[in-house]
Amino acid sequence: MAAKQPPPLMKKHSQTDLVSRLKTRKILGVGGEDDDGEVHRSKISQVLGNEIKFAVREPLGLRVWQFVSAVLFSGIAIMALAFPDQLYDAVFDGAQVTSKTPIRLYGGALLSISLIMWNALYTAEKVIIRWTLLTEACYFGVQFLVVTATLAETGLMSLGILLLLASRLLFVVISIYYYYQVGRKPKKV
């Protein structure tokens, strides 16, 4: 009794068969356009997504503004912590400080915000950049309102205070500009 030999296995050449390859890609769901109009070359890129979609197109000068903001916040924080009398005198032109504690607390808060600014300088995440810009805009806006209310109460007016108010308005405008620029949806090419 002779053992019957099985027929030799035939290799299917699906890699060279164009129609078979197209059918396989259609079954996998790759090669065609998705809802966003992107063409995925593999199932992995379709599942993981395209990293270009998540890249932030930074507006011109954003990183410079972030650096300037971080330096500004850090500098004023250190000045408020170390030299509260001089900071108060620079802003309110000769008015006497009754207590150094609120100015030092202000410096501590600014130092905390400056640490956030320094960390945001090194991130590429759109959400973090936008939140730090919104934080800046809110801070400068609140500072503008507080200084304006203080001027209305005390009646003090000086060139230093006017420059402070003008700079705060400018900083609010710049921060809001970059906030909206970072949040814009990129144009499809």
Coil/strand/helix, residue 41: coil
Mean pLDDT by 10 residues, the chain (189 residues): 69 60 67 60 58 65 95 94 84 74 92 94 90 94 91 81 90 95 75
At 97 the pLDDT is 74
What is the pLDDT, as a whole number, of residue 154? 81
Task: Give the single-character DSSP code of 50.
Answer: -
Specify the pLDDT at position 157.
78
| Gap between the Cα atoms of 39 and 142, Å rounded | 47
Say if pTM beats, i.e. exceeds, 0.75: no
Residue 6: the pLDDT is 72
End-to-end CA distance of the chain: 72
φ, ψ of residue 105 in degrees (nearest 5): -65, -40
* Cα separation, 58 vs 38, whole angstroms: 22
Q: Where are the domains of the chain?
A: 60-181
Which is nearest to 150 in space by CA: 172, 135, 132, 168? 168
